[in-house]
Amino acid sequence: GNSVTQMEGPVTLSEEAFLTINCTYTATGYPSLFWYVQYPGEGLQLLLKATKADDKGSNKGFEATYRKETTSFHLEKGSVQVSDSAVYFCALTSSGGSYIPTFGRGTSLIVHP
């Protein structure tokens, strides 16, 4: 079956630091990969996605590259802000079988001024 593994949190950084949140996956078929973000008290919203190998998704300064050879989709940002404090979820949907998304457990990011 499909699975997504994210690094454990919380990740605590100072403003303007570099961010990496690791995400690896196992999937049948050809997965599409997503990062969703959940701000305090809100539902999840799409941050970025990539639908085929070597694609790079980007949004709001965040980037992630779909690496088929390492089955990874790590999230990066060069300079985080306090407003980036949130929980980040890596997810996939796979064309091989059910289209039900598989989510990672989420990684909490705390950015201090």
Partner 1 sequence: GAGVSQSPSNKVTEKGKDVELRCDPISGHTALYWYRQSLGQGLEFLIYFQGNSAPDKSGLPSDRFSAERTGGSVSTLTIQRTQQEDSAVYLCASSPSGLAGETQYFGPGTRLLVL
The answer to the question of residue 2 lying near partner 1 (CB under 8 A) is no
Minimal CA–CA distance to 59: which of 41, 29, 84? Answer: 84
The C-alpha atoms of residue 93 and residue 96 are separated, in whole angstroms, by: 9
The C-alpha atoms of residue 54 and residue 92 are separated, in whole angstroms, by: 15
The answer to the question of residue 34 lying near partner 1 (CB under 8 A) is yes
Looking at residue 74, what DSSP letter applies? Answer: -
The pattern of x and - marking residues 68 through 97 that bind partner 1 according to CB under 8 A reads ---------------------x---xxx--
Choose between 6 and 80: whose C-beta lies nearer to partner 1: 6
The answer to the question of residue 40 lying near partner 1 (CB under 8 A) is no
Minimal CA–CA distance to 29: which of 106, 89, 82, 100? Answer: 100
Least Å distance, CB 113 to partner 1, is 25
The answer to the question of residue 57 lying near partner 1 (CB under 8 A) is no
